[in-house]
A and B are shown apart, each in its own frame.
Chain A
Amino acid sequence: MLRKLFKYEWRATSRVLLPLYGSVLVMAIINRLFATINMHMLESATAGGLSFGLPQVIAGFVYGGLIIASFIVTFVLLIQRFYKSLLGDEGYLMFTLPVTVTQHIWVKTFVAAIMCVLSGVATLLSVFILAFNGQNWLSLLKVFPEALQMMFKEPHLLGYTVEGVVWCVAGMLASILSVYLCIAIGHLAKRHRVAAAVGAYFGLSVVGQVVMFLVITFADATGFDFWFANMAPVAAMHAGMLLLIVLTAASGALFFFFTRLILTRRLNLE
């Protein structure tokens, strides 16, 4: 069931976003072509004229616009996929499928996460296409095996990198889940649901600050940081990373728990 749900969620989302990301890459290529033609033009006798013409400027603007658009559209679409698909008319279909609410939330979260990563990758790739020529590509490709070598020499470096990646992934999932929770809280309101969701977002941030404050105070009071300071710097670094991961994962779990609670105990489809 989970796989099928994922298939449909992916299809519904990718049919909008993948063409968008693809067009970012295409525009990068077009801009690159213009730039290359430009350079050749300059090198030859003919100066000015066609080379600095309107097409290239437009292409530049379109490219820039598409990058911005890809991020905005990703953000908006992922909110929409949760809001409209589960809490709008389509909710009548989704919530009567033989699928648990947990599965619904997970599938949407994962697809959202993958799309966020893809939007970043598309942008990064487009920059590479624009900026890099043959030499740069080669030196870039060399970076990877060099980095890996360094990491095997210093295992801690590998550890930090892995922890960093895990933290980023956890952080991304937690952020997505926090947005979903806000939408779900908005659903609880009878009117002005959007305002309620936005309000919930600010509310959550405040709660987050308060929790951080409490954690730090607690650390101070019990001399937790003292224990920290007495550790070897490497161990402290790892402990710190692990602590970050645990806190992020815990907050993500809380967001998930409450979202699920609202959608099972307090569902009221119009």
Chain B
Amino acid sequence: MNTNDLIVCSGLTKYFGGVKALADLNLTIGRGRIVGLLGPNGSGKSTTIKLMNGLLTPTHGEVRIDGEAPGVYTHSIVSYLPERSYLNDWMKASQLIDFFADFYKDFDKKKAYEMLKALDISPADRLKTMSKGTKEKVQLILVMSRAAQLYLLDEPIGGVDPATRDYILNTILTNYSENATVMLSTHLISDIERVLDEVIFLQKGQLTLHETVDDIRESRGKSVDALFREVFAC
């Protein structure tokens, strides 16, 4: 459909039993943006991303990706990196590449193999023989080898070493397209602040801030990292 508002959340609310995970989220994100979803653990970041993917159904409200509710179409234009390990352990890296290429028309096999080589991972290795860090790298390669319109990355730099983190951020930047948007959730801001266009603060399921990084620096005279520490001080 290619509307300009890639993500539109209207009154998006999610309760788990009696627990309010996300309350009345109203959000619009355009194309060609790199957006940071920031907040402490349990603030609703993963919930928001899972709702955008259709892995959770909203209690109230709705989310639309390129004008459509989560479904087959949105799955074909969204590339999702969950926080957990979600791939078949018995498959080899090359088999996983074939799997993704089979289901996603926008998957670039050549790029995937190049990235495997750059990170020194053999395509013939089975996932179950890899260390946790290597598995995460493989998952990232699969996600970033797609030419998707929306990349949803849930805590992509949380547990990785600084070199890998730089590689991840560099991949995001070199992948950049004016038509596509990257949304990543994290609680480690200082590392990624300059990669972001805009940031969203989530606090206990509520959106408390949505501004561009430069606006925050100009209007408050401090970095987003400093602001975050202030806002979320314990």
Which A residues form the contact surface with B (CB < 8 A)? 1, 4, 7-8, 12, 15, 89-93, 95-100, 190, 265-269
Q: How many A-B residue pairs have CB under 8 A?
A: 59
B57-A265 in contact (CB<8A): yes
Chain A residues within 8 Å of B71, by CB: 100
Binary per-residue interface labels of chain B (59-99) against chain A in the complex, 1 for a CB within 8 Å, 0 otherwise: 00000000000011101101010101111101000000001
Indicate if the CB atoms of A99 and B72 lie closer than 8 Å. Answer: yes
With A1-B103, A267-B55, A268-B56: A93-B76 Cβ-Cβ less than 8 Å = no
Q: Is B50 an interface residue (CB 8 A)?
A: yes
Q: How far apart are the CA atoms of A268 and B57 in the complex, in Å?
A: 7
Contact partners of B80 in chain A: CB under 8 A = 92, 96
- Which residue of A is nearest B74, CB measured? A98
Contact check, B53 vs A96: say whether CB atoms are below 8 A apart.
Answer: yes
Which residues on the B side are within 8 Å of A268 (C-beta)?
16, 56-57
Q: Which chain B positions have C-beta within 8 A of A93?
A: 86-87
Cβ B55 vs Cβ A92 within 8 A? yes
- Nearest-neighbour CB distance to chain A for B213, whole angstroms, equals 29
Chain B interface residues (CB < 8 Å from chain A): 16-17, 50, 53-57, 71-73, 75-76, 78, 80, 82, 84-88, 90, 99, 102-104
Q: How far is the CB of B92 from chain A (nearest CB, A)?
A: 12
Provide the bound-state CA to CA distance between A12 and B82, in Å. 22
| Cβ-defined contact, A269 with B103, below 8 A | no
CB distance from B178 to the nearest CB of A (A): 24
CB-based contact A269/B56 at 8 Å: yes
A269 engages B72 (CB within 8 Å): no
New A-B contacts (17) at CB < 8 Å, excluding given A98-B72, A100-B72, A190-B16: A4-B102, A7-B102, A8-B102, A89-B86, A90-B88, A91-B55, A91-B86, A93-B86, A95-B53, A95-B55, A96-B55, A96-B78, A99-B75, A99-B103, A100-B71, A267-B56, A268-B56
A-B contact pairs, 11 of them (CB 8 A): A90-B87, A90-B88, A92-B86, A93-B86, A95-B54, A98-B75, A98-B103, A98-B104, A190-B17, A265-B57, A267-B56
Nearest first, the 7 A-B pairs at minimum CB distance are A98-B76, A92-B86, A98-B75, A269-B55, A92-B82, A4-B102, A93-B86
Q: Which residues on B sit within 8 Å (CB–CB) of A99?
A: 72, 75, 103
User: Is the CB–CB distance between A269 and B99 below 8 Å?
Assistant: no
Min distance, Cβ A84 to any Cβ of chain B, angstroms: 10
| Cβ-defined partner of B84 (8 Å) among A8, A15, A89, A190 | A89
* Chain A residues with CB under 8 A of B88: 12, 90
Bound: A269/B46 CA distance, A: 11
Q: Is the CB of B103 within 8 A of A97?
A: yes
Neighbouring A residues of B75 by C-beta, 8 Å: 96-99
> How far is the CB of A36 from the nearest CB of chain B, in Å?
39
Query: Given A90-B86, A95-B55: A269 and B104 within 8 A (CB)?
Result: no
Q: How far is the CB of A262 from chain B (nearest CB, A)?
A: 10
